[in-house]
A and B are shown apart, each in its own frame.
Chain A
């Protein structure tokens, strides 16, 4: 069935087709349409599911942990401040080893209040033990939510999965998507399974105090689970292609990379923009390609090594910043290919707070890098001083004068 709808509504379709049985969520712009659509599905009898309208994101994740611990497939959706508010329980869900899926609509962090896209929210949740998958299209959002349950419930993984997609660009824009048949989704995704649940016949205690003598082993098992997820992500992508037909890459997606000697690296919808930048650079005679990082955690170390080690230059685009260092993806790409090849790695930090990332700007800055006109460090190519900043500065200057600060 072909449907024209928003990215948010397709995330809800993903949960519906995955036969989710408990949804617990708290509204936050730009995620609200996800839970509105799910509650509509439930009200109209199209989805057999309990919906818990919790009073905060912290509680949304706590309720998810409760329902998944009872052995029921669970789903939530959040964004930005909501993700930050539930941060403690992101650690808990992963640490106690529960399979579940949550979509995070990537939105900038305040202040200043900003409901538009960047990746700062999810990047700040990087080290919680969650698998993080980034989508670049509406179709990929729907397909990835379904795949995420396969990955999360894989017995060698048993970890929660966060499906990330960009605020407004994907969440609120309308696109045509092929909605797969329930029958085929059921063939791809078996009923919920986990390695443990709260069971009246086996009254075990979960999540208790662990002394230093035993703690590191628990953390190492999470480390192994994330490592095993690489295989699970590849298998899920391939089997999904075989059964349902769509394929968006596995750990990474590539574009015109085979004969390239320079590569763009990006995540999310910005990577679609980069495809046009690649075409533009190719037209100018640069042998350029694209690597879109689809799985940020686990990080595609092997893929990046293989793809990027023959390159002479790599341009990494970050839609977020690790303050006091550089773009986080930039750091990690460099770390992954360290000692493998001679590529010089450049970095653009751009598109923060929903600012448009234009393919011609990406192409122009990449060309500058290739022509030796850019330092291999973080560059902020879209910074500009507008009249708004000047008005704000004049106001502050008056205050500084009055307070004797200047």
Chain B
């Protein structure tokens, strides 16, 4: 699939209330193209509640239910149970795709209980977390997805803690499909959505969403920053199904040795939220900690890759 092969029909319409360079609207556009018209959308309190435009207009050309912050997984359970009834009654010929669209606050923090419950029940829906690594909608406060050392409006000297990893938490739930995606790799993202559409049960897709006002970079650099995140190893692209993780696109190329890791310093320098790591003087310690973690992860993955290629086919044990 090439970009020019994407369907022409736009289900995310022009004239939305999104900020310039918004990663959320770009992600919605690709996701909607991959999933098509037969989709029921539930938007969880997030930037997407706002960027769809206020009453009485909407940029979302799908039947849409806006819902409260902590409800993503649970609302999907109701939507999908009702859709099953409508299929049984013959109102629907085929069951539509149930899509929940939530931010990292609604996923990592306040909504994790409902998401975990829905995943445990293997609720038949696609859950998307577009992760801009902070509460961007309310003025960029820290979330459970905010990376170590990043400025937010309530971690003004940089966050002290490391982010948690909900995609891996979903892997641990044993759901049929988990994938991560990046705006800089739209064909990879499209393919993952198209694949998820054909799978039954809980599917989780997390998209890293560099936010120009929140991360403090020029609005023309959204895709560039997204690409640097993958190239530096700060964001990893993979999909997990049947107990097996497959790394994709830019991440796969690094693991297979086709491209080198970009020094994380370059990724950090591209964003104002890490400015305090470079001025008034360079914070070698914290930059070193971040680079050290990335190196450790990629050295392990590269080693495993070589082992598989040259010695034996080993896999980590499936989660259950």
Beta-carbon contacts under 8 Å, B35-50 to A: 37-38, 40, 42, 49-50
| Complex interface: chain A residues within 8 A of B96 (CB) | 200
Q: How far is the CA of A210 from the CA of B68 in the complex (A)?
A: 14
Query: Across the interface, do B40 and A55 meet the contact criterion of CB distance under 8 Å?
Result: no
Please give me the residue from chain B that is nearest to A92 by CB atom.
B68
Of B56-64, B140-148, B175-183, the stretch lying at the interface with chain A is B56-64
- Decide: A208 and B113 in contact? CB cutoff 8 A: no
Most chain A CB inside 10 Å of its own CB: which residue of B53, B56, B67: B67
Tell me the residues in window 44-77 of chain A with beta carbons closer than 8 Å to chain B beta carbons. Answer: 50, 52-56, 58-60, 62-72, 74
Q: Which of B110-133 contact A (CB under 8 A)?
A: 113-114, 116-117, 120-121
Cβ-neighbour of B78 out of A24, A53, A56, A209 (below 8 A): A24
Give the distance in Å from the alpha carbon of A206 to the alpha carbon of B63 in the complex: 8
A207 / chain B contacts, CB cutoff of 8 Å: 65-67
Q: How far is the CA of A36 from the CA of B175 in the complex (A)?
A: 27
Residues in B neighbouring A96, C-beta threshold 8 A: 65
Asked whether any CB of chain B lies closer than 8 Å to the CB of A205, the reply is yes
Closest B residue, CB atoms, query A58: B70
CA distance A60 to B78 in the complex (A): 9
Residues of chain A within 8 A (CB-CB) of B117 are 54-56, 59
A21: chain B residues at CB < 8 Å are 82, 85
B71 touches A89 (CB 8 A): yes
Contact in complex: B77, A24 (CB < 8 Å): yes
Residues of B near A204 (CB, < 8 A) are 58, 63-64
* Chain B residues within an 8 Å CB radius of A55: 74, 113-114, 116-117, 120
Asked whether A50 lies within 8 Å of B81 as measured between CB atoms, the reply is yes
Nearest CB in chain B: distance from A36 CB, A: 18
Check if A198 sits within 8 Å of B65, measured CB to CB. yes
Report if B76 contacts A (CB, 8 A): yes
Interface status of B27 (Cβ within 8 A of chain A): no
CB distance from B298 to the nearest CB of A (A): 36
Beta-carbon contact of B77 and A63 below 8 Å? yes
Cα distance, A193 to B79, chains bound together (Å): 17
Residues of A within 8 A of B65 (CB): 65-66, 69, 96, 198, 206-207
A75 CB to nearest B CB, Å: 12
Q: How far is the CB of B114 from chain A (nearest CB, A)?
A: 5
Q: How far is the CA of A63 from the CA of B123 in the complex (A)?
A: 11
B52 adjacent to chain A (CB < 8 Å): yes
B54 at the interface (CB under 8 A from A): yes
Contact yes or no, B66 A208, CB < 8 A:
yes
Which A residues from 207 to 261 make CB contacts under 8 A with B? Answer: 207-211, 214
A403 at the interface (CB under 8 A from B): no
Mask, B133-170, CB within 8 Å of A = 1, is 00000000000000000000000000000000000000
In the bound complex, do residue B64 and residue A206 qualify as a contact, i.e. CB atoms below 8 Å apart?
yes
- Min CB distance A271 to B, Å, is 35
A203 within 8 A of B: yes
Count B interface residues, CB 8 Å: 44
Which residue of chain A is the closest to B66 with respect to CB atoms? A207
- B83 CB within 8 Å of chain A: yes
Q: Smallest distance from the beta carbon of A274 to chain B beta carbons, Å? A: 40
How far apart are B275's CB and chain A's nearest CB, in angstroms? Answer: 32
Kindly report which residue of chain B lies nearest to residue A206, judged by CB atoms.
B65
Within 8 A of A (CB), among B7-45: 37-38, 40, 42
- Check B74 against A22 for contact (C-beta < 8 Å): no
Choose one: A69, A208, A211; the contact of B58 (CB below 8 Å): A208
Which one, A56, A68, A92, A211, contacts B55 given CB within 8 A?
A211
A199 at the interface (CB under 8 A from B): yes
Contacts of A198 in B (CB 8 A): 40, 63-65, 79
Interface centre among A74, A203, A206 (most CB of B within 10 A): A203
Residue of A nearest to B54 (CB): A209
A22 B63 Cβ-Cβ under 8 A: no
Across the two chains, which residue of chain B brings its CB closest to A204? B63
Tell me whether A88 is interfacial, beta carbon within 8 Å.
Answer: yes
Partner of B77, one of A59, A92, A202, A211: A59
A52–B63 CB distance below 8 A: no
Contact B63 A62 (CB under 8 A): no
Q: Mark A293-306 against chain B: 1 for CB-CB distance below 8 A, else 0.
A: 00000000000000
What residue of chain A has the Cβ atom nearest to residue B55's Cβ? A210
> Would you call B73 an interface residue if the criterion is a C-beta within 8 Å of the partner chain's C-beta atoms?
yes
Q: Does B241 contact A (CB under 8 A)?
A: no
CB-CB under 8 A from B231, the residues of chain A are none
Indicate if the CB atoms of A63 and B74 lie closer than 8 Å: yes
Q: Determine whether the beta carbon of B68 is less than 8 Å from that of A200.
A: no
Q: Which residues of A contact B120 (CB under 8 A)?
A: 55
Assembled-state Cα–Cα distance A198/B99 (Å) = 13
Q: Is B199 an interface position by the 8 A CB rule?
A: no
Q: How far is the CB of B101 from chain A (nearest CB, A)?
A: 12
The complex places the Cα of A330 from the Cα of B64 at a distance, in Å, of 43
Tell me which of A66, A67, A211 has the highest count of chain B C-beta atoms within 10 A of its own C-beta: A66
- Once bound together, how far apart are the Cα atoms of A69 and B76, in whole Å? 11
Within 8 A of B (CB), among A356-374: none
- How far is B308's CA from A382's CA once the two chains are assembled, in angstroms? 78
Task: Assess whether B271 is interfacial by the CB under 8 Å rule.
Answer: no
Pair B79/A58 contact, Cβ less than 8 Å = no
> Smallest Cβ distance from B212 to chain A, in angstroms?
21
Q: A59-B113, A202-B63 are in contact. Are A72 and B74 (CB under 8 A)?
A: no
- Other-chain contact of A200, B37, B53, B85 (Cβ < 8 Å): B37
Bound Cα distance A74, B52 (Å) = 28
Contact mask for chain A residues 185-204; partner B; CB cutoff 8 A; 1 contact, 0 none: 00000000000001110111
Q: List 26 A-B contacts (CB under 8 A).
A: A21-B85, A22-B81, A24-B74, A24-B81, A52-B77, A53-B121, A55-B114, A59-B71, A60-B74, A62-B67, A62-B75, A62-B77, A66-B75, A67-B78, A67-B82, A70-B78, A72-B86, A203-B62, A205-B64, A208-B52, A208-B58, A209-B50, A209-B53, A209-B55, A211-B55, A214-B56
Known: A66-B74, A66-B75. 8 other contacts (CB 8 A): A21-B82, A58-B74, A72-B81, A72-B86, A200-B38, A200-B96, A207-B65, A208-B55
What are the 5 tightest A-B residue pairs by CB atom distance, in nearest-first order? A66-B78, A55-B117, A59-B74, A63-B78, A70-B82
